[in-house]
Amino acid sequence: MKNKYLYIQTFGCQMNVHDSEQMAALLAQVGWKITDNLKLADLILLNTCSIREKAAHKVYSELGRIGKLKEQNPELIIGVGGCLAQHLGTKFHKKVRHLDFVFGTHNIHRLPQLVAAIRKKREKITQVDFHKSLNSIGVFAPPQSGAVSAFVTIMQGCNNFCAYCVVPYLRGPEMSRPPDDIIEEIRKLADCGIREVTLLGQNVNSYGKTLGNGLNFTALIKKIGKISGIERIRFTTSHPRDLSPELINCFAEEEKLCEHIHLPVQSGSNRILALMNRGYTVEEYMKKVDHLRKLSPQISITSDIIVGFPGETQNDYQETIDMMEKIRFDSIFSFKYSERKGTAAQKLEGRIEECEKLRRLQQLQALQDGHTLEANLALEGSQQELLVEGKSKNSENDLMGRTRSWKIVNFKSESELTDKRVKVKISKAYLHSLRGKIVDD
C-alpha cells in the first residue's frame, strides 16, 4: 500500500475540535498520516455541526467542493461525522451522493473499523446509534509537538433541553467520565509537555451527577490541581443555573484555575429566559456575576447571547441591552436565533423577521465592541502572566501568549520562550488583542 493520507475538516465547537483530534489519533494508530493538502488525501473526514442553519450550510457547500475531487479520484473515501451526521443519519447519503460513510457522535471509536470495511468493500455505511459507554470520548490524542495547551473531555451529552438547542438530541444524555480516567489522561498530557488543560463538556458544572460517588466538578478541579506539570486549568461551558458557590470559591482557592469563565446568559429578559427553559432569572445571573467578581476581581466573564428568539419584543431586546450595560462582559459570541427541527422553540409563535434579527444583532455587537475595548484598555499598564504558545499571527518576530483571563498578548522577545510562563507589562490595548513588554524579574 503506497500512501494513506487523511484530511480532516472541523466545523462547530471546541468539543468538535477535540473530537477531530481523537479521530486523527485513532486513524494514526492504523497507519493514516494527517495532511493539510486536500488533493493529497485518500480519506477526507468532515466533522460537522448543526447548531444553527448556517453551520449546516457551510458543511453542504464544503461537501460540494469535495465531490469534485471524487470525480477525479474515484478511490477517494469521504466520511462525515459529528452533529449534522448524527442528525441526518442515512438521509445524508441521499442528500450527498458521494459520501461513503456517515458516523454519529457516539461512534468515533469505531472509525478504524469503518474505514477498513469501506476499503474492503465499497458499500455505503451509516452508524449513528447511541451507546451507554463513553468509548468515543475516552480516546487519548497525543498532543502535537510544541503544544502547550490541550482539551480534555470530561463528559458527554446534555440533559438541559434549552428550547432552541439541538445538542441534547445529537449528543445524547449527559454522562460523566470517571475521574480516574480523566486524571490519567491529564498526567499523560503533562508528560508530553502540556502545561494547560481545558476541561470540556456542554455543562461542566453538573459533572459527577451520573457517577453517583459524590465527586463533583469542584472536587475534580482540585484533584487536577495536584498534577505536577499542569500549571493552568480552564473549563467550558458552564450553565449559569448550576454554577455553585463552591465552584465560585474555587476561583479564589485553586491557584491553577485561571480567572476566566464563559457563562452563556442567552437573554436579558426573564420572559424570554423562561421560554428558553434556561432555569434562572437575570437577577440570579447578575448575583452570580457579582459573587465571581467579588471573590476573583481579575476574572474575565464572557457569554453567549441569542437575539430574535420567537416572541422577543423590542422591550425584551432592550432588557438584554440594559443587562449588557450593567454587566459589561469582556467579550461575547452573539447569534441570530436559528430555528432547528425537533426543538421546543420550533412550536413557539412570534417569529422575528430576518432583517430585524440582523438589526438587533449588529446593534448589540457594536455595543459589545465598546465594552470589550474598555475591558482591554483597563489592562494597560498592568502586569500579566502569560503562557507562551508560540509565534504571533501578526508578525514573524513576535511571540504570542494568553493571559490567565484568556486574552491574547503579542510581544517581542530575543529568546525562545514557547511553553514558558512569563510576566509582561501591557503597553497597548486593542479590540482583539493586547501588546506587552517582558518584565525582568
Least separation in angstroms between CB 87 and ligand F3S? 8
Least separation in angstroms between CB 153 and ligand SAH? 13
For residue 325, give the C-alpha cell: 450595560
For residue 379, give the C-alpha cell: 489592562
Of 20-28, 156-164, 286-294, 398-406, the segment contacting ligand SF4 by CB under 6 A is: 156-164
Please choose, from the candidates 364, 394, 19, 12, the residue with its C-alpha nearest in 3D space to the C-alpha of residue 166.
12
Q: Which does 304 bind (CB under 5 to 8 A by kind): ligand SF4, ligand F3S, ligand SAH, none?
A: ligand SAH
For residue 202, give the C-alpha cell: 456542554
Of 142-150, 165-173, 283-291, 359-367, the segment contacting ligand F3S by CB under 6 A is: 165-173
CB 105 within 8 A of CB 135: no
Question: Residue 202 interacts with ligand SF4 (CB under 6 A)?
Answer: yes
Q: Which does 12 bind (CB under 5 to 8 A by kind): ligand F3S, ligand SF4, ligand SAH, none?
A: ligand F3S
- The DSSP string of 319-363 is HHHHHHHHH--SEEEEEE----TTSGGGG-S-PPPHHHHHHHHHH
- Residues 6 or more apart in contact with residue 245 via CB below 8 angstroms: 291
Question: Residue 15 interacts with ligand SF4 (CB under 6 A)?
Answer: no
Please choose, from the candidates 384, 391, 383, the residue with its C-alpha nearest in 3D space to the C-alpha of residue 417.
391
The residue ranges that bind ligand SAH (CB under 6 A) are 51-52, 164-165, 167, 202, 237, 239, 264, 266, 304, 306, 335, 337-338, 340
Cell 469582556, located at residue: 330
For residue 37, give the C-alpha cell: 493538502
Q: Which is nearer to ligand SF4, 13 or 88 (CB)?
A: 13
Q: Which is nearer to ligand SAH, 296 or 303 (CB)?
A: 303
Helix residue ranges per DSSP H, 96-202: 111-120, 167-171, 179-191
Q: Which does 335 bind (CB under 5 to 8 A by kind): ligand F3S, ligand SF4, ligand SAH, none?
A: ligand SAH
Residue in 12, 179, 208, 264 binding ligand F3S, rule: CB under 6 A: 12
Residue in 161, 287, 358, 383 binding ligand SF4, rule: CB under 6 A: 161
Question: Residue 401 interacts with ligand F3S (CB under 6 A)?
Answer: no
Of 26-34, 164-172, 221-229, 267-275, the segment contacting ligand SF4 by CB under 6 A is: 164-172
Least separation in angstroms between CB 91 and ligand SAH? 20
431 to each of 124, 264, 410, 428, how far by Cα in Å? Answer: 48, 21, 13, 10
CA triple 181-234-195, angle to 5 deg: 75
Question: Residue 172 interacts with ligand F3S (CB under 6 A)?
Answer: no
Least separation in angstroms between CB 231 and ligand SAH? 26
Question: Residue 168 interacts with ligand SF4 (CB under 6 A)?
Answer: yes
Please choose, from the candidates 216, 287, 296, the residue with its C-alpha nearest in 3D space to the C-alpha of residue 257.
296
CB 205 within 8 A of CB 181: no
Least separation in angstroms between CB 285 and ligand SAH? 13
For residue 208, give the C-alpha cell: 459527577
Q: Which residues bind ligand F3S (CB under 6 A)?
A: 12-13, 15-16, 49-51, 82-83, 166-167, 170-171
